[in-house]
Amino acid sequence: MKYTSVGRTGIKVSELCFGAMSFGGDADEEMSKALYNRCLEAGINFFDTADMYSNGRSEEILGKLMKGQREELVITSKVFFPTSKTPKVNDRGLSRKHILTSIDASLKRLDTDYIDFYILHYFDPSTDMELVLRTLDDLQKQGKILYSGVSNWAAWQIMDALGISERDLLSRFEIMEPLYNLAKRQSEVELLPLAEAKNIGVIPYSPLGAGLLTGKYGLDKQPDSGRLIDSELNRLRYQNDLEFADRFTAFAKKLGVSPATLAVAWVKSHPAVTAPIIGARNLSQLEDSLAAADFEMTPELRAEISSLSIAPEPATGRSEEKTLGQFGTWSK
């Protein structure tokens, strides 16, 4: 396993991050322990969770597992969504009230004094951005978090926050967690270039497209159950990508490599990416993703794989720039 720095923070993390969303849900405590130990054995020191995962059970199980090893690990958690099965009216969003309540609850469940990267799980249009940033700055000053970050935010929202942080001398976002895989490449348009320009760490989630890119799915092939089957959100997100899944699986078969390994390795190879978040419900699923750590992804192979899916249009809508170059640089 190789290690890299998260943005400008100097914190060293494994080039794969394990997402503990399955802990307490698809993976019971015994399986969660097996997955955790296999990750440690593989050299992973980076674990991602959220307060909402399994209504807090993911944090609780991870907290038990990392006892005696806390200082060796880098942990993220998130805030926005309700944790309780019967949430109260203020048990959501990014109000100061909800963030302060949530951080203390997460620290208790994780049985730790601090969270390395505390991530805003979603954008909250009802709460003033400056108030959110001041709350996170306070948490950093109190030592409850080392750094903050965002997930599922647009590039303009992140830039707005970075501007406020710079203006008011507040701690800024140091990590982002976007959706990114071969079937969903929108992050390439603005989020990943923003991360490179501002030296922000990037830990993409769903590199396997909720299982779409594992070889289990296609136009005439679907398992009886799985995240793509059981989740309405995932069904809607990937309902038009089954033909692509067939093409990608065939390409991986031609290379003689697991589709899951190839999909994670492709995400990992983007220059802006710090560490893809891999997840698993069992050890056999985990092994294919772990293999991406040692997969050699050349620029030529990445380009060939990328050609299998449709690249998103530039942010300006000027699709001709892909071929002709930016205005003023065209050949005469």
Q: Which residues are catalytic?
A: 53
Structure tokens at 222: 């679907």
Classify strands 115-120 and 145-151 as parallel, antiparallel or unpaired.
parallel
Q: For residues 130 and 128, give the distance between their C-alpha atoms in angstroms, rounded to a whole number.
A: 6
Structure tokens at 5: 């720095």
Kindly write down the DSSP assignment for every residue of 241-257, as one continuous string: -HHHHHHHHHHHHHHTS
**Residues whose CB is less than 8 angstroms from the CB of residue 122 and which lie 6 or more positions away in sequence, other chains included:** 80, 81, 151, 152, 153
Whole-number CA gyration radius for the chain: 20
- DSSP class of residue 113? S
Q: Where are the alpha helices (DSSP H) in 43-143?
A: 57-65, 96-110, 129-141
